[in-house]
Structure formats: C-alpha cells, structure tokens
Amino acid sequence: MNLEPYRGELIAYCYRMLGSFHEAEDLAQETMLRAWKARDRYDETRASIRTWLYRIATNVCLTALERAAKRPLPSGLVERSDDPGAPLTPAFDIPWLQPFPDGRVEVEARADLRLALVAAMQNLSARQRAVLVLRQVLDFSAAEVATQLDTTVPAVNSALQRAKAALTGVGDPGEIAEPDDPQVRKTVQQYARAFEAADVPALVKLLTDDAIMEMPPVALWYQGRRHYGQFMERVFRMRGPGWLTRPVSANGQPALAAYAPEADGAHRPHSLQVLEIVGGRVAHNVVFADPKVFEIFALPPR
C-alpha cells in the first residue's frame, strides 16, 4: 500500500482545518502513520484508499482542534488602526494564521487556499470546517462525508448550509486573478520595483482605494491608500532604501519575500507579503513579519 502520493493533499487539507503549515505537516504525518498501522484492516470494498485516508485525517484534525485556539489575522482580531505611527509590538503569544507555501505541494492540492477564506473558516466550528472542505473543495459526496464524520447525510447538509452562510461576506474567488495571470505578474513586478526603490507614490498608485495591509505577528491593520502609504513611508524611514525582493507563491496567491538592507551590505529576511490582486491592483497585502516564515518557504537566510 503506497500512501505517499496522498501526502501533499493531506497537508493542504490539514492546513485548511488548522491554519498552520507546521501543524498540517505533523498531522498529515500522523495520518499516514495511523493508516500504515491499520493497513491490514482496510477494506477496499467499503471505501477507496483516498476516502479512508480522509476519514483518518479528519479524526486527527478534529482531535487537534479540541485543544487548539483559532488562528486569526489582525483584521479578524482588532479594530482597524488610523495611526500609522502606532507601536510595532509583536504579539507572539497569539497563534497567528500562517501562509501556505504553494511550492511544497502538488498543483492539484492548492484549490481554495486563499488566505481570506482560510482566515474566515477559523470562525466556523471544527465539524463545519471539515464538511465545507470535504464537500466543496474535495468533492466528496454527502454520504461519504457522513461516513467520515460518523453522522448522517441530513446533518452534513445542514452543516454545509450553515458554513456557507457564515462565509457569505468573504468575497467571490472569481474576482481574484490567479498568480500566473499576465496582468497579475505585471502588477507584482511593478510593486516589487517600487518597493525595492522605496518609492511610496509608485506603490500607492498600484493600490485599490480601500486596500488593506496587515502584518502578523503585530496586531495592527490599515485600510485605504493614505494610511497604507503613510505606513510605508515610516518603514522606509526606519530601514532605509535598497531592499531586495524575491517572488514566490502562497495560498494560491502571488507573494514577495522582502529582504531588508543591513549595515554590513547583506540583506536579511524582513517579511513575506502575500498579495491579493483585483483588477490589476493590490487589494490586500498580508505582511508576515515573522522571519521564521521564511523557513516554511525554504527561502535563504540572507
């Protein structure tokens, strides 16, 4: 029994459930170990290997969620700030939502990993999350999900309706262009050039009117071009010009790894910026300012 081909999609599933890439890797590994130990009890006449694995993974995730706090972004935790000079105090005691490194799993496993959606799912109950992902993203039937959750088809349908109703305000995924869209690539390239040049007016021109910037682990977020621009002016005053960026992909969205200049001439990790591009402009930038995020994406330390 070869379970390895399922590892990537199991990691993506556990990430959608937990909001942590590190935990998702651990839980996917636990799922594989449990499945391997129980391989003699697997009955192919009752379920496919994939369905059987997801039943194990769902139980593993639900158990983990019994002791886990939800993982927010700042915009889901605190009120919007109107002070671009507010203290940048990291809150490492909060288990923040982590980005998902697209390059670590197969393309087929990356559906519906958008940060906004995963963040919104943190407000659902654990079983609602499972039903939503299993039914809407992974296309399991209501009967299969009922078996995986040891419940009934009506209960699954009811949970799905409640989950979808709770996520009504998340936005239409169709409005958000894919990372390989030519207009998206152009916008990201322009943003990267302006950022490296510390050119705030050029950055602001690339924003939507109500663009959002948030920066976990700092519990702050801003909305609108003016505050976004004022905050970036502050950043460049503090750290100077001469930044470097590297394009990556996170959560099915374009992203930039930003390296800040140091006195010794080196550039060291500053933040991973996950961009949401709508209509050729940046509508949302989640700036993960914890350098440990660079390790998730296997990015160089300088």
14-60 residue pLDDT tens: 999 999 999 999 999 999 999 999 988 888 888 899 999 999 999 99
**Domain regions of the chain by residue span:** 4-168, 175-296
- The topology under which CATH files domain 175-296 is Nuclear Transport Factor 2; Chain: A, (3.10.450)
Class of the CATH domain delimited by 4-168: mainly alpha
Question: What does the pLDDT average to over 270-298?
Answer: 93
Rounded Cα–Cα distance for residues 72 and 50 (Å) = 30
Encode pLDDT of 212-253 as tens digits. Answer: 999 999 999 999 999 999 999 999 998 888 999 999 999 999
Strand partners for 245: 258
Q: What is the pTM of this model?
A: 0.92
Rounded Cα–Cα distance for residues 259 and 281 (Å) = 23
Q: Would you say 92 and 45 are in contact if contact means Cβ atoms under 8 Å apart?
A: no
Rounded Cα–Cα distance for residues 275 and 252 (Å) = 10
Contacts of 40 (CB under 8 A, 6+ apart): none
